[in-house]
Amino acid sequence: METAFIIEKFILVTAVFAISLLIAMYSTYAERKVAAFLQDRVGPNRAGPFGLLQPLADGAKMFFKEEIIPAQASKILFIVGPSLAMLTACMGSAVIPWGQDLEIAGKKISLQVTDINVGLLYIFGVVSLGVFGVMIGGWASNNKYSLMGAIRAASQNISYEIAMGLSIIALLMVTGTLSMKEIAAQQSGFHWNIFYQPLGFLIFLICAFAETNRTPFDLPECETELIGGYHTEYSSMKLGFYLFAEYINMFVSSAVMATLYFGGYNFPFMNDLGFSANVITIIGTVGLFIKIICFIFFFMWVRWTIPRFRYDQLMNLGWKVLIPLAIANIVLTGVVLSLT
């Protein structure tokens, strides 16, 4: 029993890890293709059919580049930075329910790595930890521009975390649970949380953009002001880790948004189709991935549409708009909940 459990979880963890890496890998390709589409260009089309092998070529290039560690840099922390960025990016997917329970040979197999009863807070914690990779790397480079990037990342992260936490509180009042599995199960069919928390979702979405350092919130790596921001001094695969961590972050936050607000693995009329439970589960999992891919596309769409904020605009939006809105959302949710 115990061994079977461990093997089952091991397979699940490996699969989730592999899928996150695969999606992140092809997100880099999709990013360039979407950019090309929006700017009326062709995009990468040399490596393989439609340029599909481009991510592999990029990876190989990254590995073969010369690795430079600045002479005055703090060597250990210089390596710890990108490793930490990658680690925290991969940690978030542990509590996301990828589907309902599969039933194989009378045995229930959960499609969630672990269902801790503070799952929502766990994700919030991992997100708040993500900034350390950027900060440590930026400081260890011993470069003024890198330091500026690191400091910007920290202040941005702290500012938007507050609004994100407040929007999660409003969601919590509706769901009444912190467990990701229960939150997903509550949205069965078409009872998605987006209909009960539209404002909360909007705040969460904006904060997710800020926490993943995506445009319009990519001030830590703002090349017009800071050369390359926190990764100015990085080369070879260490730079690759930073860039790659951003895409994994994007994937995980898309999965979180899909689970929290867009029903997770649930889809409309799932209980009226008359299929067996396993088929419904598989369709649901596919549905979840379609939702995630839509969110990733949205991330890219915004990146190539909206210009970057100025720093004071960023702070004003965070502190003077999003936080009061989130508090108003909590009050509103409380009033509606006490009336109904």
Interacting residues toward another protein by CB under 8 A = 2, 77, 116-118, 121-122, 124-125, 127-129, 131-132, 135-136, 139, 147, 150-151, 154-155, 157-158, 161, 178
State the DSSP code for 320. I
Specify the residue, 158 or 277, whose C-beta has the smaller distance to another protein. 158
CB nearer to another protein: pick between 42 and 71 = 71
Of residues 80, 93, 112, 102, the one with CA closest to residue 12:
112
Shortest distance in whole angstroms from residue 72 CB to another protein: 11
Separation CA 253–CA 295 (nearest Å) = 9
| Min CB(225)–another protein separation in Å | 17
For the CB of residue 151, give the shortest distance to another protein in the complex, in Å: 6
Closer of 178 and 332 to another protein (Cβ): 178
**Minimum Å distance from CB 203 to another protein?**
18
Residue 190 CB, shortest distance to another protein, in Å, is: 28
- C-alpha dihedral over 227, 228, 232, 238, to 10 degrees? -160
d(CA 98, CA 283): 11
Burial class (CB in 10 A: 0-12, 13-18, 19+), 135: buried
Separation CA 234–CA 95 (nearest Å):
32
Nearer to another protein, 54 or 141 (CB): 141
- Return d(Cα 326, Cα 175) in angstroms, integer: 17
**Nearest approach, Cβ of 23 to another protein (angstroms)?**
26
Confirm if 167 and 329 have CB atoms less than 8 A apart: yes
**Residue whose CB is less far from another protein, 118 or 294:** 118
Looking at residue 185, its amino acid is A
- Would the CA dihedral through 250, 131, 220, 155 be positive or negative? positive
31 versus 233: smaller Cβ distance to another protein: 233
